[in-house]
Amino acid sequence: MKQDKILIMGACGQIGVELTLALRKIYGDSNVIATDIREEHTLLKGSGPYEQLDAMDGEAITATIKKHGITQVYLLAALLSATGEKMPNKAWNINMQSLLQLLDISIQEKLHKIYWPSSIAIFGSTTPKQETAQKTIVEPETVYGISKYAGELWCQYYNKRWGVDVRSLRYPGLISWKSEPGGGTTDYAVDIYYEALKAGKYTCFLSEDTYLPMMYMDDAIRGTIEIMEAPAEQIKSRMAYNFGAMSFSPKELTEAIKTHIPDFSIDYQPDFRQDIANGWPQSIDDAAARNDWGWAHKYDVAKMTESMLSNLKVKLQVPS
- Kind of pairing, strands 246-248 and 212-216? antiparallel
Q: Are 203 and 267 a contacting pair, CB within 8 Å?
A: yes
Return d(Cα 172, Cα 186) in angstroms, integer.
8
Which residues of this chain interact with ligand AKB, rule CB under 6 A? 80-81, 119-121, 144, 171-173, 184-186
Q: Are 294 and 223 a contacting pair, CB within 8 Å?
A: no
Q: Identify the burial level of 40 via C-beta atoms within 10 angstroms of its C-beta, where 0-12 means exposed, 13-18 middle and 19 or more buried.
A: middle
> Which residue lies nearer to ligand AKB by CB, 44 or 91?
91
Q: Least Å distance between CB 70 and ligand AKB?
A: 26
Residue nearest to ligand AKB (CB): 184
- Kind of pairing, strands 50-52 and 72-75? unpaired
Return d(Cα 52, Cα 30) in angstroms, integer.
16
Q: Can you tell me whether residue 59 is helix, strand or coil?
A: helix
Return d(Cα 167, Cα 159) in angstroms, integer.
9
> Which residue lies nearer to ligand AKB by CB, 48 or 145?
145
Q: Are 245 and 215 a contacting pair, CB within 8 Å?
A: yes
Q: Least Å distance between CB 58 and ligand AKB?
A: 25
> Which residue lies nearer to ligand AKB by CB, 105 or 212?
212
**Residues with active-site annotation:** 144
Q: How many residues does the chain have?
A: 320
Three-point CA angle 214, 219, 224, nearest 5°: 105
Q: Least Å distance between CB 318 and ligand AKB?
A: 26
Q: Least Å distance between CB 91 and ligand AKB?
A: 10
Q: Which residues pair with 171 in a beta bridge?
A: 119
Q: Least Å distance between CB 86 and ligand AKB?
A: 12
> Which residue lies nearer to ligand AKB by CB, 48 or 279?
279
> Which residue lies nearer to ligand AKB by CB, 29 or 252?
252
